[in-house]
């Protein structure tokens, strides 16, 4: 034999463990110099509230407009005319609630001639419960929320949904953003024993987690969890790509590899745990219900086992007879009498004669198969009544003795360099420190981020609000304010909004209100050849941006038009009917007969998309085709792609056929269909067009399907 | 095939809307799937990736290890250290291969008796025996093969390739995926996902039969004429909604025309009944064992013929008994899985070659890892990420070679070992794409398929 094949790997191991350990001895002067050189980067400067220019123009309604107008003038573009009131109410209602306005809402608004009618409308919408649902959809993109773990088993997280409801509720109640931030990073530390705060830290566990059997590298798995927590907080709140410094000093930003691991050390004590939040009475009730449920199931599983047993026994006997005689003989020996080698063989022999579930099923007689299938169906029906688990928060607990955090060479957990203490990125720390005690690390991180003087926190959030309402962000890379990120298109506006945000008590609704009542927001979204040439990307906001609704909002709007929408809020995630092709994508190595149980109460399948089970490995085509994020990394900006599969599912899917029919039945006439879908009556030529379509043999259902597919329906005007 | 222009004219016909025509023409210019020039001339235009779910054993297929016979039943020398796999810890005895190996073709490549048909094609193939991945668990290793990382959420190869090259097909998806009918691979949909690339680049499931693509078929009772009438109404409404300068809305109008064309073309493209009898026999459509996988291989050829850029076929999925995951009963398992795939894959290579398509079609056979020389459950093998074989054919590769090697037990790659980054760099290179010029900005980072770079395997590319 040649050179030992492991000689290479062994030398690498030796090198890594013995030699590299000396590699990291704290940050060097060179490192610190690197940081100092970048200290003047715009995003690291304190927010200063710019003076709002006094302009000789009647256009501005808010300071936002006064800060936008000079930028327009510099490009030689003038703002657009105000949007029509009919389109404006559709725009702002879709924006703030994710649902179209009803025709009654529209009529009421159009009839309201008070000068502040629009502001009153905005206040009503901001106070509606759908406002929080709309925001939650967006926030959940940023924290990459899903209801399952991801990876092959992709098990459901039975308590994760409480975090989703927490987010809805936080936006609805006008929770100050600094409190919202503190709760999600360190709620359990700052408000111990408070169930809402425990649920809030579910944000730190929102990312994917690999849970699988067999021999596991526990340290690697733990690293992955910590990477998710560190990266999740950096993207959502800090607006920096800390994860880029996991393997080496950040290539562009003044973030050292040690900065990354100091921040990771903040999370080192945090271990994922479901924290009970049930009252004793609740627990007793549910546990009793569980026992009763088990008692209903047991006789059926017993009958199924009895059907299978003779087949299993026969297969086992057959397999046994095919074993080598020596091995077969071992099977009957008492384990204690065997040598270790024979014991291993005996174990192997047992595995070899055990039939797999599908082998057993393949053997069943037609009668037994029918009986068994009926029993399985009975079982699944009973399981729809399975009591919900005892309420718990999908949360964290600090371990008393957190593992030491090491810098990892090229991010590899097997290549530990020097140890680091928990801390904040040097460039931004500004003398803030993190204690090395187990509890209190996350609190220190949260307090540092929630400091009104923090240069990034407020800028990051107001930019998200602006992007949400205006369609494009001021900083086009909302998760990255570093050197590779985009510069703000209007730095003064960004800073004014950030200062105003902090001054308002971190009030998200107040900023939302400011934005949607601005003259900029209330402009027409029509194109203009001249201005399109001068500012083709509309960076000065000389017109409003039209925006395609997200797949979730399209589905909600379809249900709204058909009248099927079930407006119930909150609770456990809901499964909706899926096509066989999608069902087949659910991975299992076992019997695939009940992988997607539909709710007993069918009105549940018409809930808002926010409440649909978000399963990482199986996406719903209608949502996925419209660029629903995969929830595997933070999504700050959804791409808008346009392709034929969208058209196919919008024209041909069972869902759309059913909804178009319900919509037609509800509308009855073309004008009413226009009102329900587009919040307006048809124009005369549209009325004619519809009449011609129907006269040529078209049905109202087909007409309604076309209406639900048209650009006006799927775009925020 | 009807040229795109005349379809557009046809679509506009009936409402004579010149405006609609100009909207469609504009949309065409911004079509994200329009064919794009490669970075440099590449021979391969399309890829067929044959993925063997669960991991075939390299020392029982393409990488003979006579030493296993000699050390049968013994433990691996202690000098190897602890070999941790997913279920075993390296202490189980060595298991020799139940199959004989022979040299084949002019190239003299070694193939075991598991592949009587494929062994006739070795002169068109090049084997790389020293690939490695970074996880002994199926799903992460599958993600690494498909996307370059052991994590979920990165764009798959097919997504990157259609992002880089667009599609040659006007009427079919650019990237199609055909899983095993019994179930999905463990890695599931992220194996053909678009990750953070726009959703247009995701793989589209393709199935044999009358409804090959999800939602392709209109609802029962909707005739093509009725659907066209509804579509004409919709397009008239859309033309009224859309300003000429609005590329996004114009693209939406065009997407409905493509969907309509797809409805009429896709069923024809998957209709295997039109294939002559000798071709159907070649792929084994006349035999129970091979008919299913043979059908998918034949579909792959028909897709490539019609300009589809990337075709991904899975052998295995769902129950363990229908995967290559031979933790026990290696013999029974591999004879079954090879029996289902050997003839169809050989047929695919021969058929592509005979039609002159092999030069422009890269065919890759591989898996998420290989298997261990030691046994599990007495007659099976656990996972081995340290060294395993994949092979390449067509697409401008240098055929007839065997590149890289494993140690005497087939456990570790030795000498030139190749990572998935190298695999991906090679694949992109054959398509004329430079791994460093194919990037996408995501969360502050220019993401690439090969991350911090791979080596093009020169033994494969010549």
B87-133 confidence digits (pLDDT tens): 998 889 999 999 999 999 999 999 999 999 999 999 999 999 999 99
Residue of A nearest to B88 (CA): A215
pLDDT on residue A118? 98
A488-503 confidence digits (pLDDT tens): 999 999 999 999 999 9
Separation CA B397–CA B361 (nearest Å): 10
pLDDT on residue A533? 93
CB contact under 8 A, A344 and B200: no
Separation CA A554–CA A626 (nearest Å): 9
CB contact under 8 A, A618 and B445: no
Q: Is residue A683 part of a domain?
A: yes
Q: Quote the CATH superfamily of domain B37-209+273-461.
A: Alkaline Phosphatase, subunit A (3.40.720.10)
* CA angle (A491, A176, A144) in 5-degree steps: 75
A52: closest CA of chain B, how far (Å)? 32
pLDDT on residue A470? 98
A592-625 confidence digits (pLDDT tens): 999 999 999 999 999 999 999 999 999 999 999 9
Separation CA A196–CA A175 (nearest Å): 12
- Characterize the bridge pairing of strands B413-414 and B310-315: unpaired
CB contact under 8 A, A208 and B151: yes
Whether the CB-CB separation of A450 and A182 falls below 8 Å is answered with yes
Number of H helices, E strands in chain A: 32, 6
Q: What is the token pair recorded at A220?
A: 């690697």
CB contact under 8 A, A651 and B229: no
Distances (CA, A) of A223 to A258, A267, A635, A686, B305: 15, 11, 22, 60, 46
Separation CA A470–CA A65 (nearest Å): 13
Chain A positions touching B248 (Cβ under 8 A) are 548, 640, 642
A363: closest CA of chain B, how far (Å)? 15
Separation CA A112–CA A129 (nearest Å): 23
With helix as H, strand as E and coil as C, how does B270-283 read? CCHHHCCHHHHHHC
Query: What one-character-per-residue DSSP string does B244-306 give?
Result: TT-HHHHHHHHHHHHHHHHHHHHHHHT-GGGS-HHHHHHTTTTSHHHHHHHHHHHHHHHHHHT
Q: Is residue A445 part of a domain?
A: no
Strand, coil or helix: A678: helix
**Alpha carbon B113 to chain centroid, angstroms:** 25
B113 touches chain A (CB under 8 A): no
With helix as H, strand as E and coil as C, how does A130-178 read? HHHHHHHHHHHHHCCCCCECCCCCCCECCCCHHHHHHHHHHHHCCCCHH
B437: closest CA of chain A, how far (Å)? 17
Separation CA B377–CA A526 (nearest Å): 70
pLDDT on residue B19? 66
In terms of Cα–Cα distance, which of A585, A652, A512, A554 is closest to B314? A585
Chain A positions touching B151 (Cβ under 8 A) are 208, 224, 632
CB contact under 8 A, A706 and B233: yes
A389-404 confidence digits (pLDDT tens): 999 999 999 999 999 9
Average pLDDT over residues A405-422: 94
Distances (CA, A) of B279 to B46, B300, B301, B307: 21, 14, 11, 20
pLDDT on residue B17? 53
Whether the CB-CB separation of B151 and B134 falls below 8 Å is answered with no
Chain B positions touching A639 (Cβ under 8 A) are 196-199
pLDDT at A13 over 80: no
CB contact under 8 A, B153 and A529: no
Q: Between B87, B199, B241, which is nearest A627 by CB?
A: B199
Share of chain A above pLDDT 70, in %: 96
With helix as H, strand as E and coil as C, how does B36-56 read? CCCCCCCCCCEEEEEEECCCC
CB contact under 8 A, A150 and B321: no
B125-138 confidence digits (pLDDT tens): 999 999 999 999 99
A617: closest CA of chain B, how far (Å)? 6
A324-378 confidence digits (pLDDT tens): 998 999 998 998 889 988 999 999 999 999 999 999 999 999 999 999 999 999 9
pLDDT on residue B25? 73
Separation CA B295–CA A517 (nearest Å): 60
A636-655 confidence digits (pLDDT tens): 999 888 889 999 999 999 99
Separation CA A471–CA A478 (nearest Å): 12
DSSP A236: I
pLDDT at A24 over 80: no
Question: Who's near A540: CB < 8 A, 6+ residues apart?
Answer: A68, A71, A72, A74, A75, A77, A489, A490
Higher pLDDT, A669 or B444: A669
Residue of A nearest to B451 (CA): A244
Chain A positions touching B200 (Cβ under 8 A) are 641-643
Tell me how many domains chain A contains: 2
Whether the CB-CB separation of A435 and A402 falls below 8 Å is answered with no
Share of chain B above pLDDT 90, in %: 80
Q: Is residue A87 part of a domain?
A: no
Whether the CB-CB separation of B402 and B421 falls below 8 Å is answered with no
Domain boundaries, chain B: 1-30+212-269, 37-209+273-461
pLDDT on residue B176? 96
Distances (CA, A) of B122 to A135, B126, B350, B454: 58, 7, 11, 26
Average pLDDT over residues B167-175: 90
pLDDT at A36 over 90: no
Which residue has tokens 């990307």? A537
pLDDT on residue A639? 86
Domain containing residue A682:
650-716
B254: closest CA of chain A, how far (Å)? 8
B252 touches chain A (CB under 8 A): yes
Separation CA A186–CA A229 (nearest Å): 12
Higher pLDDT, B155 or A216: B155
B140 touches chain A (CB under 8 A): yes
A195-236 confidence digits (pLDDT tens): 999 999 999 999 999 998 888 889 999 999 999 999 999 999
Separation CA A205–CA A160 (nearest Å): 9
Chain B positions touching A589 (Cβ under 8 A) are 183, 318-320
In terms of Cα–Cα distance, which of A305, A313, A309 is closest to A376? A305
For the packed helices A700-709 and B224-241, what is the interaxial angle rounded to 10 degrees? Answer: 40
Q: Between B218, B226, B253, which is nearest A652 by CB?
A: B218
CB contact under 8 A, A627 and B241: no
Give residues 154 to 213 of B whose Cβ lies within 8 Å of A: 173, 179, 181, 183-190, 193, 195-202, 204-205, 207, 213
B107 touches chain A (CB under 8 A): no
Point out the domain boundary residue: A390, A412, A436.
A390
Average pLDDT over residues B211-225: 93
Q: Which burial class, exposed, middle or buried, applies to A202 when counting CB atoms under 10 A from its CB (0-12, 13-18, 19+)?
A: buried
Question: Who's near B42: CB < 8 A, 6+ residues apart?
Answer: B396, B429, B430, B431, B432, B433
B295-305 confidence digits (pLDDT tens): 999 999 999 99
Whether the CB-CB separation of B131 and B388 falls below 8 Å is answered with yes
B79 touches chain A (CB under 8 A): yes
Residue of B nearest to A581 (CA): B214
pLDDT at B6 over 50: no
Whether the CB-CB separation of B136 and B370 falls below 8 Å is answered with no
- Characterize the bridge pairing of strands B310-315 and B46-52: parallel
B380-406 confidence digits (pLDDT tens): 999 999 999 999 999 999 999 999 999
Which residue has tokens 């490549």? B109
Query: What one-character-per-residue DSSP string does B207-235 give?
Result: -SSS--STT-SPPTT--HHHHHHHHHHHH
**Position B356 confidence tier, pLDDT thresholds 50, 70, 90:** very high
Chain A positions touching B421 (Cβ under 8 A) are none
pLDDT on residue A224? 94
Chain A positions touching B85 (Cβ under 8 A) are 215
Whether the CB-CB separation of A32 and B439 falls below 8 Å is answered with no
Separation CA A384–CA A389 (nearest Å): 13
Point out the domain boundary residue: A390, A420, A435.
A390
Strand, coil or helix: A418: strand
CB contact under 8 A, B153 and A632: yes
**Position A455 confidence tier, pLDDT thresholds 50, 70, 90:** very high
Q: Is residue A663 part of a domain?
A: yes
A550-608 confidence digits (pLDDT tens): 999 999 999 999 999 999 999 999 999 999 999 999 999 999 999 999 999 999 999 99
Question: Who's near A278: CB < 8 A, 6+ residues apart?
Answer: A286, A390, A391, A392
In terms of Cα–Cα distance, which of B129, B48, B161 is closest to B450? B161
A358: closest CA of chain B, how far (Å)? 8
Q: Is residue A680 part of a domain?
A: yes
Query: What one-character-per-residue DSSP string does A285-303 give?
Result: HHHHHHHHHHHHHHHHHHH
pLDDT at B5 over 60: no
pLDDT at A634 over 80: yes
Q: What is the token pair recorded at A211?
A: 């849970």
Separation CA B268–CA B274 (nearest Å): 9
Chain A positions touching B379 (Cβ under 8 A) are 348, 352
B354: closest CA of chain A, how far (Å)? 33
Asked if the interface predicted TM-score (ipTM) of this complex is over 0.85, the answer is: yes
């Amino acid at each position: 034999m040649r050179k030992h094949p492991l000689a290479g790997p062994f030398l690498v191991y030796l090198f890594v463990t013995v030699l590299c350990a000396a590699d990291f001895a704290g940050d060097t002067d060179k490192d610190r110099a690197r940081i100092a050189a970048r200290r003047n980067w715009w995003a690291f400067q304190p927010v200063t509230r710019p003076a709002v220019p006094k302009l000789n123009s009647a256009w501005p309604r808010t300071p936002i407009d006064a800060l936008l107008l000079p930028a327009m003038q510099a490009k030689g573009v003038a703002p657009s005319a105000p949007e029509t009131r009919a389109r404006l109410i559709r725009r702002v209602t879709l924006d703030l609630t994710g649902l179209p306005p009803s025709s009654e809402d529209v009529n009421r608004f159009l009839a309201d001639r008070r000068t502040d009618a629009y502001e009153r409308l905005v206040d009503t919408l901001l106070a509606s419960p759908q406002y929080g649902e709309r925001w939650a959809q967006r926030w959940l993109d940023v924290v990459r929320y899903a209801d399952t773990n991801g990876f092959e088993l992709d098990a459901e997280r039975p308590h994760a949904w409480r975090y989703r409801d927490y987010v809805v509720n936080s936006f609805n109640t006008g929770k100050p953003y600094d409190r919202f931030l503190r709760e999600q990073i360190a709620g359990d530390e700052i408000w111990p024993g408070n169930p809402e705060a425990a649920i809030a830290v579910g944000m730190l566990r929102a990312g994917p987690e690999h849970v699988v059997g067999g021999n596991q590298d526990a340290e690697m798995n733990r690293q992955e969890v910590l990477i998710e927590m560190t990266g999740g907080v950096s993207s959502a709140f800090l607006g920096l790509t800390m994860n880029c410094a996991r393997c080496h000093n950040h290539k562009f930003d003044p973030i050292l590899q040690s900065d990354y691991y100091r921040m990771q050390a903040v999370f080192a004590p945090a271990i994922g745990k479901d924290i009970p939040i049930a009252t004793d009475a609740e627990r007793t009730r549910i546990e009793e219900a569980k026992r009763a449920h088990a008692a209903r199931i047991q006789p059926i599983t017993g009958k199924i086992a009895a059907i299978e047993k003779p087949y299993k026994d026969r297969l086992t006997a057959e397999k046994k007879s095919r074993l080598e005689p020596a091995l077969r003989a071992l099977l009957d020996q008492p384990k204690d009498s065997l040598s270790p080698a024979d014991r291993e063989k005996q174990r192997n022999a047992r595995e070899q004669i055990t039939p797999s579930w599908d082998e057993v099923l393949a053997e069943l007689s037609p009668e037994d198969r029918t009986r068994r299938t009926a029993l399985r169906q009975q079982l699944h029906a009973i399981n729809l009544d399975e009591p919900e688990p005892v309420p718990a928060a999908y949360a964290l607990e600090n371990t008393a003795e957190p593992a030491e955090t090491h810098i990892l060479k090229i991010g590899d957990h097997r290549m530990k360099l020097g140890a680091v203490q928990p801390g904040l990125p040097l460039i931004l720390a500004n003398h803030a420190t993190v204690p090395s005690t187990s509890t209190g690390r996350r609190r220190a991180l949260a307090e540092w981020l929630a400091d009104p003087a923090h240069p990034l926190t407020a800028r990051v959030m107001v930019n998200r609000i602006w992007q949400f309402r205006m369609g494009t962000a001021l900083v086009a890379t909302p998760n990255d304010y570093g050197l590779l990120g985009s510069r703000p298109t209007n730095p003064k506006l960004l800073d004014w909004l950030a200062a105003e945000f902090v001054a308002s008590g971190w009030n998200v609704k107040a900023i939302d209100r400011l934005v949607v009542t601005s003259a900029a927001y209330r402009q027409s979204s029509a194109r203009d050849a001249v201005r399109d040439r001068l500012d083709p990307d509309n960076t000065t906001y000389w017109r409003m941006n039209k925006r395609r609704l997200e797949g979730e909002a399209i589905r909600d709007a379809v249900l709204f038009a058909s009248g099927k929408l079930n407006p119930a809020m909150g609770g456990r995630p809901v499964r909706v009917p899926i096509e066989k092709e999608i069902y087949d994508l659910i991975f299992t190595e076992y019997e695939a007969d009940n992988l997607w149980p539909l709710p007993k109460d069918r009105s549940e399948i018409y809930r808002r998309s926010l409440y649909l089970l978000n399963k990482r490995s199986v996406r719903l085509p209608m949502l996925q085709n419209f660029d629903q994020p995969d929830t595997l990394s933070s999504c700050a900006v959804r791409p808008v792609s346009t392709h034929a599969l969208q058209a196919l599912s919008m024209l041909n899917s069972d869902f759309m056929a059913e909804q178009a029919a319900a919509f037609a039945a509800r509308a009855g006439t073309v004008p009413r269909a226009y009102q329900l879908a587009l919040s307006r009556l048809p124009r005369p030529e549209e009325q004619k067009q519809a009449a011609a379509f129907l006269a040529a043999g078209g049905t109202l259902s087909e007409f309604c399907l076309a209406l639900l597919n048209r650009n006006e329906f799927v775009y925020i005007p | 095939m009807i040229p795109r222009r005349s379809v557009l004219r046809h679509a506009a016909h009936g409402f004579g809307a010149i405006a609609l025509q100009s909207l469609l023409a504009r949309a065409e210019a911004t079509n994200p799937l329009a064919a794009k020039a490669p970075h440099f001339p590449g021979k391969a235009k399309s890829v067929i990736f044959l993925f063997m779910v669960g991991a075939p054993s390299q020392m029982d297929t393409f990488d003979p290890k006579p030493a296993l016979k000699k050390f049968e039943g013994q433990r691996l020398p202690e000098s190897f250290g602890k070999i941790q796999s997913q279920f075993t810890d390296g202490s189980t005895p060595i298991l020799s291969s139940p199959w004989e190996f022979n040299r084949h073709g002019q190239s003299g490549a070694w193939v075991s008796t598991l592949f009587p048909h494929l062994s006739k094609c070795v002169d068109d193939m090049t084997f790389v025996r020293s690939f490695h991945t970074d996880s002994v668990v199926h799903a992460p290793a599958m993600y690494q093969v498909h996307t370059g990382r052991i994590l979920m959420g990165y764009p798959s190869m097919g997504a990157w390739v259609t992002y880089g090259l667009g599609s040659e097909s006007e009427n079919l998806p650019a990237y199609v995926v055909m899983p095993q009918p019994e179930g999905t691979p463990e890695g599931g949909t992220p194996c053909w996902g678009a990750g953070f690339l726009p959703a247009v680049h995701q793989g589209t499931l393709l199935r044999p039969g009358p409804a090959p693509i999800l939602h392709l078929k209109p609802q029962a009772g909707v005739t093509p004429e009725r659907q066209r009438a509804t579509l004409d109404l919709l397009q008239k409404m859309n033309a009224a909604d859309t300003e000429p300068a609005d590329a996004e809305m114009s693209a939406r109008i065009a997407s409905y025309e493509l969907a309509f064309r797809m409805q009429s073309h896709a069923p024809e493209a998957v209709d295997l009944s039109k294939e002559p009898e000798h071709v159907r026999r070649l792929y084994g459509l006349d035999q129970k064992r091979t008919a299913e996988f043979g059908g998918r291989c034949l579909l792959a050829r028909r897709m490539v013929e019609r300009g589809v850029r990337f075709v991904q076929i899975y052998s295995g999925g769902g129950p363990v008994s229908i995967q290559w995951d031979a933790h026990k009963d290696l013999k029974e398992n591999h004879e079954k899985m090879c029996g289902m795939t050997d003839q169809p894959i050989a047929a695919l290579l021969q058929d592509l070659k005979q039609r002159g398509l092999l030069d422009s079609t890269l065919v890759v056979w591989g898996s998420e890892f290989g298997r261990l020389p030691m046994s599990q459950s007495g007659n099976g093998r656990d996972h081995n990420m340290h060294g395993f074989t994949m092979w390449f054919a067509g697409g401008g590769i240098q055929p007839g070679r065997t590149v890289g090697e494993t140690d005497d037990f087939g456990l570790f790659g030795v000498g030139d070992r190749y990572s998935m980054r190298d695999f991906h760099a090679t694949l992109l290179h054959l398509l004329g794409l430079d791994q460093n010029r194919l990037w996408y900005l995501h969360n502050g980072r220019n993401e690439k398929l090969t991350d911090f770079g791979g080596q093009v395997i020169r033994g494969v590319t010549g």
